[in-house]
Amino acid sequence: MSQESIWPLVRDTPVPKGGVHIWWLRQAGFVIKSPGGYMVAIDAYLTNSVMTSYNVPRGYPAPLSPEESEFDAILATHPHDDHIDPEAVLPFSKHKKTKFIGPFSVIKIARAGGFYGDRGIILNRGETTEIGDIKIEAVFARHMFEPEPTPDAISYIITVGKWRIYHSGDTEYDARIVDDTEGKVDISLICINGVTGNMDTKEAGFLAWRQGCKVAVPMHWGLWPAETDAESGATLDLNEFVETYKALQPDGEVWIPVIGKPLEMI
C-alpha cells in the first residue's frame, strides 16, 4: 500500500497574506498552514498502529509520513490510537523544532516518545497557546464511550488571521460545545461517523449550523474498511450531512475533503 507523498506540496505551497490552507490527511487528520509558513497537524494518523492494537487495517495509505514531515506542532484531541498515533510519536520527535500539544493524557504519551520538557504543551478547556502566527484554543469535547472513556478529551479552535477553524476531534453532541463555539467558528471540521462516541451526520450538520460557520467540513470517514459494513452503524452518507446543514444554513458551503487538494481561504 503506497501513495505519493503530499509533504513537498504542503511544505512548498505559500499561503497568501490574510489566508489559510487546510489539507486533509484522512480520518480526523488535517494540516493547517499560515501565511507565516507555520504548519500544525491535528489528529494525524499516519501509520498502521490500529492494526497492532485493534486488528483493524487502514483502507488507504497515509498521504505523508511522520519521518519526513517537519511540522511546527502536532496537536491531538485525545489519546486514542487513530488520533495520537503512538507509532508516529517517536519519528515526529526527531524533528527538533516540533512541539506536541494536547491534554495531559496526550502529553504523557508524547513525553514518553521523545517530546521532553517544554516540547510537550498541556492544554485544557479554555486555555490557549501560540505557534508563530497560529493561535490554538482548547474547547469542550465529550468522548466518554466505553470501554475507553477519555475524560480530558478536547476540541480546538485554531485561529489564523481572520479565520477561526474548529476541529471537533471525537465528540458526541453536547450543549457545552455550543457554549464554547457558537459565533466563533468560520470553518468547522466536524466528525460525522456516529459510532464509538461521535456525532452522526445530522448532529454534525446541526452543530455546524449552531456555530454559524461559513464552511462545514465532514471528517472521520474514508479510512476504515470495517466502517462500510452495513452492520457497523456508522453514518457515512456525506449527502445526508450536506442536506442537513444546507437545510439549516442555505448560504453555507460544504467542502468535501480530497487528498492533495487544500481548502484555500483568502
| Nearest one of 60, 25, 27, 21 to 219, comparing CA atoms | 27
Residue 263 lies in a domain: no
Residue 212 lies in a domain: yes
Residue 266 lies in a domain: no
Least confident of 106-120, 193-207, 222-236: 222-236
Residues 6+ apart with CB under 8 A from 28: 42, 43, 45, 77, 82, 83, 167, 168, 169, 170, 189, 191, 219, 220
Q: What is the CATH number of the domain that holds 65?
A: 3.60.15.10
DSSP element (H, E) containing 74 = strand 73-75
Residue 116 lies in a domain: yes
Residue 43 lies in a domain: yes
Domain count, the chain: 1
Residue 264 lies in a domain: no
Residue 236 lies in a domain: yes
Residue 190 lies in a domain: yes
Q: Which domain holds residue 112?
A: 7-258
pLDDT in tens, 11-63: 999 999 999 999 999 999 999 999 999 999 999 999 999 999 999 999 999 99
pLDDT in tens, 215-244: 999 999 989 987 887 778 899 999 999 999
For residue 2, pLDDT over 70 is answered with: no
